[in-house]
């Protein structure tokens, strides 16, 4: 095996080892999509009651209607990653198209580790009702919820709210102003740009109080990976400095900045190389 093949093999190993840091999610259905049938499917307006109408272009937008207590969240613009290396990477991290029998275009997931609960937000195209459901016998705060399989509920709109009944209802309460939104990550997200197709933030780390990461394709075809740490531990900070020192040998560039208790590291280069760069 020549040196180039060895380098690629090692990069793949590093890439797979980092997947658990980048992606988490709710109990998922099978990732195998069923055939999409748009024929004669009714639109969202076929569901009575109020519909969700909220800006949904970033992780911050998702957290704006997320109930308090979140320990991690992630956002993925499924349309933007289509046909890119990130598409295969994220394939098992989001609900399959068969969840709605329509194309998933954006997805958001939030985890509540303290009670092992979760909630998701989705947008689909076209906005049709092409899945099995039962109407909830009573409405909640003006919303007519849809009961899905395995005790999962949907609230219709843009975005769709998807999850256990209590978390769907809690999210409606946030939108109505009767409950507080998640603000756990407001500080660290103030250092991030909200224009990346993949974004994740979590407080479940051993190397910082909180940790944010995103991936964005650049016009050149390369990618940038931004990692932001709140109260980074010394050993991780020193390790990142060591990787910056010899980054040109690996064909990537590092930009490390600090501001009080925030450390921000932007790595730029080929997707498969930067995704293998360590984060802790």
What CATH number has the domain bearing residue 230?
A: 3.10.28
- The domain tally of the chain equals 2
How much is the pLDDT for 36? 55
Distance of CA 67 to the CA centre of its chain: 16
169 lies in the same domain as 212: no
- Does pLDDT of 118 surpass 70? yes
Report yes or no on 4 lying in a domain.
no
**Which of these three, 160, 176, 192, is where a domain ends?**
176
Res 19: pLDDT:
40
Q: For the segment 72-94, what is each residue's pLDDT rounded down to a tens digit?
A: 999 999 999 999 999 888 777 77
The residue-averaged pLDDT of 180-193 equals: 97
Residues 72 and 131 in one domain: yes
Structure confidence by residue, pLDDT tens digits, 120-129: 999 999 999 9
Name the band, by pLDDT with cuts 50, 70 and 90, for residue 96: confident
Beta-bridged to residue 162, according to DSSP, are 120, 154
Of the pLDDT bands very low, low, confident and very high (cuts 50, 70, 90), residue 14 is very low
pLDDT for res 229: 98
pLDDT > 60? residue 51: yes
The answer on 135 and 63 residing in a single domain is yes
7 is a domain residue? no
Domain boundary among 157, 176, 195: 176
Domain membership flag for residue 143: yes
Contacts of 280 (CB under 8 A, 6+ apart): 21, 205, 206, 207, 236, 239
Average pLDDT over residues 229-240: 97
CB proximity list for 178: less than 8 A, separation 6 or greater: 141
pTM: 0.87
Q: 95 falls in which pLDDT band (50, 70, 90)?
A: confident
Pairing of strands 52-53, 157-158: parallel
**63 falls within a domain:** yes
pLDDT tens digit string along 65-74? 999 999 999 9
């Amino acid at each position: 095996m020549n040196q180039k093949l060895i380098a690629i093999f090692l990069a793949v190993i590093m890439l797979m080892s980092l997947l658990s840091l980048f992606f988490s999610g709710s109990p998922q259905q099978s990732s195998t999509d069923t055939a999409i049938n748009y024929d004669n499917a009714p639109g969202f307006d076929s569901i009575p009651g109020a519909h969700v109408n909220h800006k949904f272009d970033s992780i911050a937008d998702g957290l704006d209607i997320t109930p308090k207590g979140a320990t991690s969240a992630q956002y993925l613009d499924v349309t933007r990653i289509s046909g890119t290396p990130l598409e295969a990477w994220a394939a098992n991290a989001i609900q399959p198209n068969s969840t709605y029998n329509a194309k998933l275009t954006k997805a958001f997931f939030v985890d509540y580790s303290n009670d092992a609960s979760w909630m998701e937000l989705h947008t689909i195209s076209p906005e049709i009702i092409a899945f099995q459901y039962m109407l909830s016998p009573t409405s909640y705060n003006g919303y007519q919820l849809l009961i899905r399989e395995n005790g999962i509920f949907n609230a219709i709109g843009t975005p769709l709210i998807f999850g256990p009944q209590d978390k769907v209802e809690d999210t409606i309460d946030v939108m109505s102003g009767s409950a507080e939104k998640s603000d756990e990550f407001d500080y660290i997200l103030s250092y991030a740009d909200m224009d990346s197709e993949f974004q994740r933030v979590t407080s479940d780390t051993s190397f910082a109080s909180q940790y944010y990461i995103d991936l964005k394709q650049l016009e050149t075809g390369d990618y940038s990976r931004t990692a932001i740490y709140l109260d980074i531990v010394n050993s991780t900070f020193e390790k990142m400095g060591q990787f910056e020192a010899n980054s040109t040998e690996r064909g990537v560039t590092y930009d490390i900045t600090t501001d009080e208790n925030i450390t921000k590291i932007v790595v730029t280069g080929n997707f498969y190389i930067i995704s293998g760069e360590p984060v802790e």
